[in-house]
A and B are shown apart, each in its own frame.
Chain A
Amino acid sequence: MIATLRAIGFDNRLGLRLVIASLIVGSVLSVLSTSAQLGASYFRQRTDATLVLSRIEDTLASPLEQAVWTFNFDQVDVILDGLAADPNIAFVELQSSTGQSWTRGDPDEQAATPDDQRVYELVHKLDNNRSELVGVLDVRLSLDAVRARVWAEFWTTFLTNLAKAYIAAIALLFLVGHMVSRHLRKIADHVDNTNADNTNALRLDRAGSEKTDDLDRIVDAIDRFECRTREQMDALGNEIIDRKQAEAEARQALSIRSQFLATMSHEIRTPLNAIMGFLHLIATYKDIDDKPRVYAETATKASHQLMSLMNNSLDMSRIEADAVEIKMTPTDIHSLAKDWHQSAEGMRHMRDKNIKITLDVARDLPPLINMDASHVTQIVSNLVDNAIKFTDAGEVDIAIKNATSDGNPAIDIRVSDTGNGIPEDARARIFERFTQADSGMLRAHGGSGLGLAICSELARLMGATLTLDDRIRDGFTTVFLLRLENVALVDLPT
């Protein structure tokens, strides 16, 4: 039942509103049409009744005058009865000149407001062109009966009209449901369900007709809109695919380039290492003259520079190729720090610097901490190498302390020096690639300007942070701070 109602549109407000509107309009129209109908009928009947009055003059005046003149009173009665038989004639009165009088109907009832009243003078024509009044006929017309009839008709007519209007409204509801609402609902469902996967064109189930109407236009408009949207989506999709491909290609190209660089750097290091070894053999050969020894020593220094360049280039390309593997292992930082100190002494010796190298390891450090020892070592030795390189007098200090970061244990490693310092305006740039503080992109001294860039990338990969410490104290001019996070051991080694 509900389904049927729904099918024909009872559940949709649009249909109901249409029906209510048409019911109101129908009611008003039936009132109007009933009034018009009945008004017309009333006027027609009134005219008919008045016509009777006019006809009395032509048809009854002369026989009545004759009957009165000849004193044929029977005939007078017959005529007056005939007149009074008309339902609309309410009262008839005849007064003869000789004093007789006849009446028909109830004078009181109609005397007050007759709808029409005619008074005829009955005149007898004499031979000598004279005439004599024989009597006066008074006829009064009442339309009460007509009115009662019309009024009686009103309700039946009005109710039939109303019924017709309502039946038409219900029929309209069915028709609207069938011809419009169900299509509108289908359009709404279609638009709701259309997406990238469901691209069926909108088709309404309608009786065919060549003439396009509003619904056809809506369907066409939706079709065209969906076509356009689909085209745009396709274009967009293709563009996304193209971009992704281009991105992947770019990434692959970068990775191939980085891999190439990594391989080259690695391969160059092997023979370079042999060269350095032989230069060492020459420089330390027992019977060698001074000159060739100095040559070999100088060549050794140049080779060291080349080696560090190759190492940096190898590291950077490994970072770019995402080939750096971070391995956190329980590490004895106390012995590691001694190694750092020792290799710092080696670097100082290499650079011929007369400076003091100090190591300050806090006593309360845990015996083992979780860290990637080889990468931390790489960062520290880069920092120490820089510190020694840019310090001509004074000291370089390596300090290791406990710290906390967000409530978790951390380790701070500070490398400080008393060298020439880093100018304020260069501080922001030194972690960028190929950058040296004194000359920006142009390198003023040996070195690639990659060291700190590698260090900060490695730190980032380890989840550590490398910063230039602003709080310079104890006479140091440059302080780098490497903070290792998540240093607590998760499970102790057995």
Chain B
Amino acid sequence: MTYMHKVLLIEDDEFTRFMMREIISGLGVEVEIASNGDEGCKLLEKQPGEFGLVLMDLHMPVMSGIDATLKIRNEVQDPPSKVPIIAVTADVTYHNSSRVAELGMNGFTPKPVSPGTLLSLIDQYCAA
């Protein structure tokens, strides 16, 4: 399977970031990483239309995943970003589709993320 789009991984924990990047790239998908919401927004602005999926940690320093989502949905222009955002969190209060939808996200996946879950998410959003 070939993937057209890149995955943006926004995650503050260094080891987790590295591990997830290895797994995703092992699936043959290009990955860009950011260690907080602010960095993630900048990457999105620089490469409009490149990303097929954002995996967003919710609790992060500098800018949280919730604030970053708000910014992506409202401020990141050209084009007004409709990129799918999946919340990745261990916080069970966000393990609820309508809750994350209210926040402007497309879904959630509980942390820790298994490789199988990653594969199915990428299949869903990044396929050609």
- Are B23 and A280 in contact, with the CB atoms below 8 A? yes
- Are B23 and A277 in contact, with the CB atoms below 8 A? yes
Mind listing 24 A-B residue pairs with CB under 8 Å?
A: A266-B90, A269-B111, A271-B13, A272-B112, A273-B16, A273-B19, A273-B111, A275-B15, A277-B19, A277-B112, A277-B115, A278-B19, A278-B22, A280-B115, A281-B22, A281-B23, A284-B26, A284-B115, A307-B112, A325-B93, A327-B96, A327-B99, A374-B95, A375-B92
In the bound assembly, the distance between CA atoms of A270 and B96 in angstroms comes to 21
Chain A contact residues (Cβ within 8 angstroms of B): what range? 20 to 34
Contact partners of A374 in chain B: CB under 8 A: 92, 95-96
Interface residues of A (CB under 8 A from B): 266, 269-278, 280-281, 284, 307, 325, 327, 329, 346, 373-375
Task: Convert B2-37 into 0s and 1s, putting 1 for each residue whose CB lies closer than 8 angstroms to a CB of A.
Answer: 000000000001011011101100100000000000
In the bound assembly, the distance between CA atoms of A271 and B96 in angstroms comes to 25
Given A266-B90, A280-B23, A325-B93, output 4 extra A-B contacts at Cβ < 8 Å. Answer: A273-B19, A277-B19, A277-B22, A278-B22
If A280-B115, A373-B96 touch, whether A270 touches B13 (CB-CB below 8 Å) is: yes
- Are B116 and A271 in contact, with the CB atoms below 8 A? no
Q: Nearest B residue to A372 by beta-carbon distance? A: B96
Q: Nearest A residue to B19 by beta-carbon distance? A: A277
Interface size on B, residues (CB 8 A): 21
- Are A329 and B96 in contact, with the CB atoms below 8 A? yes
Instruction: Report if B98 contacts A (CB, 8 A).
Output: yes
Q: Smallest distance from the beta carbon of B35 to chain A beta carbons, Å? A: 14
B90 interface neighbour in A269, A278, A346, Cβ under 8 Å: A269
| Majority-rule SS of B interface residues | helix
- Are A274 and B15 in contact, with the CB atoms below 8 A? yes
A271 interface neighbour in B15, B20, B90, B95, Cβ under 8 Å: B15
Contact partners of B92 in chain A: CB under 8 A: 374-375
Q: Smallest distance from the beta carbon of A184 to chain B beta carbons, Å? A: 69
Give the top 10 A-B pairs by smallest Cβ distance, nearest first.
A277-B19, A273-B112, A274-B15, A374-B95, A274-B19, A274-B16, A270-B13, A374-B92, A281-B22, A280-B115
If A327-B93, A346-B116 touch, whether A277 touches B98 (CB-CB below 8 Å) is: no
Contact partners of B113 in chain A: CB under 8 A: 273
Q: Smallest distance from the beta carbon of B36 to chain A beta carbons, Å? A: 15
In the bound assembly, the distance between CA atoms of A366 and B23 in angstroms comes to 40
If A329-B96, A374-B92 touch, whether A276 touches B23 (CB-CB below 8 Å) is: no
Q: Nearest B residue to A270 by beta-carbon distance? A: B13
- Are B19 and A270 in contact, with the CB atoms below 8 A? no
If A269-B112, A307-B112, A346-B116 touch, whether A277 touches B16 (CB-CB below 8 Å) is: yes
Contact partners of B95 in chain A: CB under 8 A: 374
Q: Nearest B residue to A271 by beta-carbon distance? A: B15
Q: Smallest distance from the beta carbon of A362 to chain B beta carbons, Å? A: 24
Contact partners of A274 in chain B: CB under 8 A: 13, 15-16, 18-19
Q: Smallest distance from the beta carbon of A50 to chain B beta carbons, Å? A: 127
In the bound assembly, the distance between CA atoms of A375 and B90 in angstroms comes to 14
Q: Nearest B residue to A324 by beta-carbon distance? A: B92
Q: Smallest distance from the beta carbon of B63 to chain A beta carbons, Å? A: 19
Q: Smallest distance from the beta carbon of A211 to chain B beta carbons, Å? A: 80
In the bound assembly, the distance between CA atoms of A329 and B112 in angstroms comes to 24
Task: Convert B83-113 into 0s and 1s, putting 1 for each residue whose CB lies closer than 8 angstroms to a CB of A.
Answer: 0000000101101101100000000000111
Q: Nearest B residue to A373 by beta-carbon distance? A: B96
Q: Nearest A residue to B110 by beta-carbon distance? A: A374
In the bound assembly, the distance between CA atoms of A375 and B110 in angstroms comes to 13
Q: Nearest B residue to A278 by beta-carbon distance? A: B19
Contact partners of B99 in chain A: CB under 8 A: 327
